[in-house]
Structure 1
Amino acid sequence: MTTSEIRPYEAIPQVEFPQDFYMQVGPLLASYYEQYGPIFRAERFGRQITYMLGPEANRFILVNNRKKFSHHIGWSSIFQVEQLLGRGLLMMDGEEHAHHRKIMNPAFTIGYMSRYLPLMQRIIREQAESWLERGEVDIYEEMRTITFNVAAEALTGLKSGAEVDTFRHLFVSLLNPAGPFESDEEYYAYITPLQAQLRELLLPRIEERRKQPTDDVFGLLVRAHDEHGQSLSDEQLISHINILLVAGHETSTSLSAWLLYLLSQHPDYTQRILQEQTQLLAPGSEPTLEEVKKMKVLDNALSEAERLYPPVANGPRGVAEDFEFHGYHVPAGTFVFYSIAGAHRLPSIFKDPENFDPDRFAPPREEQKKSPYALVGFGGGPRICIGINFAQVEIKAIASHILRNYRLTLAPNQHIQQVYGVTGFPLNGIRMRFNRA
């Protein structure tokens, strides 16, 4: 297409979302893709947002033209993440991001996971011990407790107990404010005391790390210098820890809960996972990292949970530089969502996309490999989620322990429904009953 044939921004198809859009994000966006193609616009969050979806759009935004897009503008302008949690890694662009990510990278390599795995297994085991006695639990809230405690201890050295419980309650209150609020002033009157409490809890921990350095992520950050050679300030460290604790548990909470729900509904596939577990593990033993990495049947179920229930529906970006995509001009200063949930439901990529079918990820089908950047629950390209190894090892450890030791059944009289705000969550939780396996 020649330059003269590039259509203006105003020509991008405009769609109007139904009121219950947040309850059907993936299927609805996939249907708009079929109707309008991989780019269209909608009014959301009080502004015009351009939606781009499909493997081609994902590669365009995440890889080939990633410098034209700003994470900072997207996350801070649309979702006010910076105002809430500070300027952590998620908020950074360009060289600033590259420098700070390089500081953290060593603690997120797959080899480092062998250090975290025993800690994960201990926290999983301790939390699960109460389920038989309690009879029925909300598995979403149980997963939040496990994944937050793991993130707090593994990434920052905070020990499970009253201190971590306080941190978790503060973060839950920040991320799920008890609104609605009549004004910005009312909203900030709610969050400011919570932010102050978090700061008061973290400052003594920062001082401890400066006096006694550790080799967890917190310790690496305290010892590091910014791109100007200066040690990171208290505010920078607090912002990084806030983002790490939120990102380090939010996605794993959602994915592990939905994985367990899906497996409770598909006992035949669960049996295949258990057969794989029996082949890999000695009776009563906890898996090593090498054994976790060999759990291919479980891995495919996790990929299918990621496809059907991605923790984030749409990745926000600010457009930092004009670009053309699919015959349309998109100017700097506008906003883009690359649609994760929409891309995961495209029937041209994933056969029968509404069905639970983990074998789509196994040879010879491997549907995700035939269209690179089709599965992007953890993003992709150079800025793929830094915690992808951490999350996948943790969720597989959770599933391995629970499936080998308990029998799960869904409690009756529930309406199970994923809804999306900034992240996704089950509308009324997922109540499950546990019996000894």
Structure 2
Amino acid sequence: MEQGSKFLNVGLLLLATLLVAKLVSALIIPRSNKRLPPAVKGWPLFGGLFRFLRGPVDLLREEYPKLGSVFTLKLLSKNITFFIGPEVSAHFFKAPESDLSQQEVYQFNVPTFGPGVVFDVDYSIRQEQFRFFTESLRVTKLKGYVDQMVFETQDYFSKWGDSGEVDLKYELEHLIILTASRCLLGEEVRNKLFDDVSALFHDLDNGMLPISVIYPYLPIPAHHRRDKARKKLAAIFASIIASRRQSGKTQNDMLQCFMDSKYKDGRPTTEAEVTGLLIAALFAGQHTSSITSTWTGAYLLCNKKYMSQVLDEQKNLMKKHGDKVDHDILSDMEVLYRCIKEALRLHPPLVMLLRSSHTDFSVTTKDGKEYDIPKGHIVATSPAFANRLPHVYKDPDTYDPDRFAPGRDEDKAAGAFSYISFGGGRHGCLGEPFAYLQIKAIWSHLLRNFELELISPFPEIDWNAMVVGVKGKVMVRYKRRQIPVD
């Protein structure tokens, strides 16, 4: 009995000591005055990792109504703070690189793009390399690229019969890599080395897995094939560059633009840099364009109203210009543009955009709540979720290209960064004009020359892919028009 009383007294003494220590700690250690965003509930140590891996968009759908437009998700030792909606996204898109950086969060691209380019160089060099991209996509260059896009499109669909059934997704994927090869990689690749280069890019592509984001150098078979393909591509482009320089022959393609580019100090680009920039350009555009082309077609084939509108637009342009299709005529296709833009709003291939915070900063929500975001957080936004906010877009899950028509302009009414399929601000996609022209060139030709019918169910989203695209086949029955767009 006495022994039990002794243990009880010791226990009470320990409890009292802990309470006093906690009280003293609260009094003498200053509290943080940071107004931290609300946090997603998660498991100890793992945080919300398992929910995140099951699908970040599903997580956002569940947490946004409860936590609002700014909230933090803990993933192991990392904190990801989401900014959802145009009211809180300005800092994400406009902050200088010294405050919010891309470099740390996109390091997983380095083994694919190669050393010395994009995310493997400091910001000042990266800005100069982005200038090379900008110069290669000037309107004068785009006009030449359009001629090549139109040629490739006409040649590809000339091989279709008078009628048949095809997997539209497969067809568009193959046409777009042909077009990209001619416009970006050059005629040497397109005419002689296409099969070899295409297979190597396939190995590069398959070497970028979800696990690669966390462990890009993990010694797995897919990474070994990626690294082997990267070396072979470097050798191929080194040979092409050397041949062009020796012959003095130039081409109207992105390869030539990168070869001719010079840094501010006068230094020309190296063979390794040209190769890396070309790989980055193809990765940025190939998947996104083929995915958006497929969604555009799927929606048009299921919406008679908009199919009728785009066909009328093609008829009017043909009355005015005949069969001619060039840069300026494609630029006049406003109805088709809105149909592509709406497909891209509903299905942006990049689900999340990321930055690494180098400084503390504050953000105010549309409800007037102010939060302090600590240095070291990963800051994220999601085009796939933000593009469907009901306070920005009316009936946001409905395909309605007219929402972008003059007079409605829903993407502008709610302010900047309401439409973020191409990112925005300091890091907006440089290839946006190229992408629209490429997709317009393809669909203009299809609309003018074929009657099309979707015969498989409307496609589902492939959430398991690194670049979120179309799941399964998109089967279409076609019949060649005897008189184009009669």
Question: Which TM class, normalised by the smaller chain length?
Answer: 0.7 to 0.9
Secondary structure of residue in 1 paired with 2:434: helix
- Alpha-carbon distance change, 415 to 330 in structure 1, aligned in 2, over 3 angstroms: same
Query: Residues of 1 paired with 2:62 and 2:210: CA distance?
Result: 31
Deviations 1:111-165 (A, max 9, x none): 4322111110111122223344783322222222222222221123135345123
Query: Residues of 2 paired with 1:45 and 1:376: CA distance?
Result: 28
Cα offset for 1:246?
A: 1.4
Match of 1:307 among 326, 332, 345: 345
Cα offset for 1:365?
A: 1.1
1:348 aligns with 2:394: no
- Alpha-carbon distance change, 49 to 166 in structure 1, aligned in 2, over 3 angstroms: farther
1:409 aligns with 2:458: no
Deviates more, 1:183-192 or 1:107-116: 183-192
Deviates more, 1:319-328 or 1:127-136: 127-136
Cα offset for 1:228?
A: 4.5
Residue in structure 2 matched with residue 71 of structure 1 by the alignment: 102
Match of 2:109 among 81, 88, 107: 81
Cα offset for 1:166?
A: 2.3
Deviations 1:399-434 (A, max 9, x none): 111111112222336753342543111122423222
Secondary structure of residue in 2 paired with 1:74: coil
Query: Residues of 2 paired with 1:208 and 1:126: CA distance?
Result: 28
1:204 aligns with 2:239: yes
Cα offset for 1:110?
A: 3.0
TM-score, scaled relative to structure 1? 0.88
User: What pairs with 1:162-201 in structure 2 (closer than 5 Å)?
Assistant: 163-177=193-207, 184-187=218-221, 188-201=223-236
Residue in structure 2 matched with residue 334 of structure 1 by the alignment: 377
- Alpha-carbon distance change, 373 to 396 in structure 1, aligned in 2, over 3 angstroms: same
Cα offset for 1:98?
A: 2.2
Cα offset for 1:381?
A: 1.8
Deviates more, 1:241-250 or 1:405-414: 405-414
Secondary structure of residue in 1 paired with 2:422: coil
Gaps of 5+ in 2: 1-30, 43-47, 365-369, 482-486
- Alpha-carbon distance change, 265 to 418 in structure 1, aligned in 2, over 3 angstroms: farther
Residue in structure 2 matched with residue 385 of structure 1 by the alignment: 429
Query: Residues of 2 paired with 1:265 and 1:136: CA distance?
Result: 17
Deviates more, 1:323-332 or 1:335-344: 323-332
Q: 1:30–1:346: 8 Å Cα contact kept in structure 2? A: no
Residue in structure 2 matched with residue 34 of structure 1 by the alignment: 65
Cα offset for 1:344?
A: 0.4
Query: Residues of 2 paired with 1:36 and 1:216: CA distance?
Result: 48
Match of 1:298 among 311, 322, 336: 336
- Alpha-carbon distance change, 413 to 383 in structure 1, aligned in 2, over 3 angstroms: closer
Which structure is higher in RCO with an 8 Å CA cutoff and minimum separation 6?
A: 1
Deviations 1:328-379 (A, max 9, x none): 3333333222211111010110111111011111121110011221111111
Match of 1:270 among 304, 307, 321: 307
Residue in structure 1 matched with residue 470 of structure 2 by the alignment: 426
Residue in structure 2 matched with residue 102 of structure 1 by the alignment: 131
Cα offset for 1:398?
A: 1.0
Query: Residues of 1 paired with 2:380 and 2:145: CA distance?
Result: 33
Deviations 1:262-289 (A, max 9, x none): 1111122111100011111248603232
- Alpha-carbon distance change, 21 to 368 in structure 1, aligned in 2, over 3 angstroms: farther
Cα offset for 1:206?
A: 2.0
- Alpha-carbon distance change, 178 to 246 in structure 1, aligned in 2, over 3 angstroms: closer
1:248 aligns with 2:277: no
The one-letter code matched in structure 1 to 2:354 is P
- Alpha-carbon distance change, 130 to 44 in structure 1, aligned in 2, over 3 angstroms: farther
Over the aligned positions, Cα root-mean-square deviation in angstroms equals 3.0
Residue in structure 2 matched with residue 358 of structure 1 by the alignment: 401
Secondary structure of residue in 2 paired with 1:184: coil
Q: 2:101–2:355: 8 Å Cα contact kept in structure 1? A: yes
Identity of matched residues, %? 25
Deviations 1:56-78 (A, max 9, x none): 333221124554222221211xx
1:318 aligns with 2:356: yes
Q: 2:162–2:479: 8 Å Cα contact kept in structure 1? A: no
Query: Residues of 1 paired with 2:279 and 2:241: CA distance?
Result: 13
Q: After TM superposition, what 4+ stretches of structure 1 lie above 6 angstroms from structure 2?
A: 178-183
Number of equivalences: 429
